Amino acid sequence: MSSQPLISVNNLVRYYGDHCAVNDISFELAAGDILGFLGPNGAGKSTTMQMLSGNLAPTRGQIMINGVDLLDEPGAAKAALGYLPETPPLYKEMTVDEYLRYCAKLRRIKKSDIDDAMALARQRCGLEQVGRRLIANLSKGFQQRVGIAQAIVHSPEVIILDEPTVGLDPIQIREIRDLVTELGKSHGIILSTHILPEVETVCNRVQIINEGSLVYASGMEGLLEHQATGKYIISLGRPPSMDEMRAASIIDHVEQQDDEHFLVRINTTADKLAALAVDNDWGLCKLFPYEHSLEHIFVNLTLSDEKSA
């Protein structure tokens, strides 16, 4: 993997009049990354995406795409970019094939390669059956897929997807997620959303933005490490006394949360704790790691900021 990041954003600032929508954001995207961009509505997600895709000019800061400055050489930089805005940019009076052909030409694909590129994009997005249909007559899910096909038809290094699963039914959402995971193997992807499980399932890095500033950025592994604190929640049908639990050698600390649930810190692996509970006939119902889940982090960061503001 090359050391050069696909996207590198430095001190990006964007004002709308006096209102600061994006405040001094810096981050990088490497090849093979699927970066989840999280934030409450109005936090500056879409503004950032629009700046990355060249739809908005930043007030200050620098955007490098595949090593090319987006502001100095927009043509070369945009060639490496596929963008799906919140509303897919579809010409509804065209058929899917006509539209994709137009997009392919706009993205400067060689004439001889256009058919192959279109076939691949259609196949990846499951559009084989609807190539000759008018976009206006397609369901929302299919329109969304056409939007994604448009963003990947030229196999760009960087794909920017702004809320790609909004308004889709659960099956379509799953299909889109699978597609994103698939694409992530060969491209760098930025995905904005406010649906947390989406980020947890498809992304390998996550970044939370609130009121224009990045408040959290980490790899998903970091998030998992964060969770591997040796703390578990254990749910017991016939709980022993607290003293009895504290007496066990593998348990360092225990807190009762309610009648059945205990927060336990152990100095070994979870299977030992399970064995302990079974051996002593505590009526083990559930055992799961106590995690700082993404939701936890998200709510903490965004709400505490609101309080302090």
Partner 1 sequence: MIATIAFRELRSMFLSPLAWAVLAVTQIILSYYFFVYVYEFMELQSTLATLHNAPGATDLIARPTLETASMILLMVTPLLSMRLISEELRSGTIALLMSSPVSMTQIVLGKFAGILMFMLAFVLIISLMPLSLLGGTELDLGKLAAGLVSLVLLLASFASVGLYISSLTSNPIVAAVSSLGLILFFWIIGGSFGQEYSSFTHLSLSSHFGSMLRGLVDTADLGFFMLFIATFLVLTIRQLDSRRLQG
Compute the least distance from the CB of residue 208 to partner 1, in Å. 23
d(CA 27, CA 10): 7
If one asks whether residue 199 binds partner 1 (CB under 8 A), the answer comes out as no
Contacts of 34 (CB under 8 A, 6+ apart): 180, 181, 184, 189, 191, 202, 203, 204, 205
If one asks whether residue 137 binds partner 1 (CB under 8 A), the answer comes out as no
Backbone CA torsion sign across 175, 177, 178, 180: positive
46 vs 165, beta carbon nearer partner 1: 46
Residues between 24 and 63 with contacts to partner 1, criterion CB under 8 A: 47, 50, 53-57
If one asks whether residue 219 binds partner 1 (CB under 8 A), the answer comes out as no
Q: Among candidates 81, 50, 46, 51, which has minimal Cα distance to 66?
A: 81
Among 4, 11, 16, 242, binds partner 1 (CB under 8 A): 16
Among 62, 102, 177, 226, binds partner 1 (CB under 8 A): 102
Q: Among candidates 270, 266, 228, 259, which has minimal Cα distance to 245?
A: 266
What end-to-end distance do the CA atoms of the chain give, in Å?
A: 42
Residues between 146 and 185 with contacts to partner 1, criterion CB under 8 A: 150
70 vs 276, beta carbon nearer partner 1: 70
If one asks whether residue 136 binds partner 1 (CB under 8 A), the answer comes out as no
How many amino acids of this chain bind partner 1 (CB under 8 A)?
36
If one asks whether residue 282 binds partner 1 (CB under 8 A), the answer comes out as no
Contacts of 232 (CB under 8 A, 6+ apart): 263, 264, 265, 266, 270, 273, 287, 288, 289, 290
24 vs 260, beta carbon nearer partner 1: 24
From the list 91-99, 114-122, 232-240, 264-272, the region that binds partner 1 by CB under 8 A is 91-99
Instruction: Name 254's bridge partners.
Output: 264
Residues of this chain that interact with partner 1 (CB under 8 A) are 14, 16, 47, 50, 53-57, 74-79, 81-83, 85-94, 98, 102-103, 105-108, 150
